[in-house]
Structure 1
Amino acid sequence: MDIPALSIGLSQSRIQQAVSISVLKMSTEMAAVDGQALTKMMEQSVQPNLGGNIDIKA
């Protein structure tokens, strides 16, 4: 049994897992921010009176 190799493998595995979790966290936060920005943009674009009246006088 090669204990140093097992130790290195376990350490690398932990680092990979930590990096994966960090990237997933960043991705989740970015998606939440993008969703909030999209919601805000859609709320600002709502104009209920737009297109209700048409001026046909020449």
Structure 2
Amino acid sequence: MDIGALSMVMSQSRVQESAGIAVMKMAMDTGKENAEQITEIMKNVAVDTNVGQHFDGRA
């Protein structure tokens, strides 16, 4: 393999690696945003500790 072809292969490999890292970073950022939104939603949920404590099976 000549030097020119080797250089092209290495350059393409770097581009593919950079693209993969960029996509992974976007996915991680999206996951972090989703987790933050879920956390905010859970903070705003009112929890009634008496709900579900008793069951009246008579209908």
TM (normalized to structure 1)?
Answer: 0.75
Alpha carbon RMSD of aligned pairs, Å? 1.8
Q: In 1, Cα distance between the equivalents of 2:3 and 2:46?
A: 65
- Distance between the aligned counterparts of 1:46 and 1:13, measured in 2? 52
Instruction: Read off the aligned partner of 2:15 and give its amino acid letter.
Output: I
1:27-42 matches, cutoff 5 A: 27-42=27-42
Which amino acid is 2:37 matched to? A
Structure 1 or 2: more helix by fraction: 1
TM value normalised by structure 2: 0.74
Q: Higher mean Cα deviation, 35-44 or 10-19?
A: 35-44
For 1:44 and 1:50, the matched residues in 2 are separated by 18
Q: Does the residue aligned with 1:45 lie in a helix, a strand or coil?
A: coil
- Residue 42 (structure 1) shift: 1.5
Number of equivalent positions: 51
Please list, as runs of the form range in 1=range in 2, the aligned pairs for 1:11-50 lying within 5 A after superposition.
11-48=11-48
| Gapped regions of structure 1 (runs ≥ 5) | 52-58
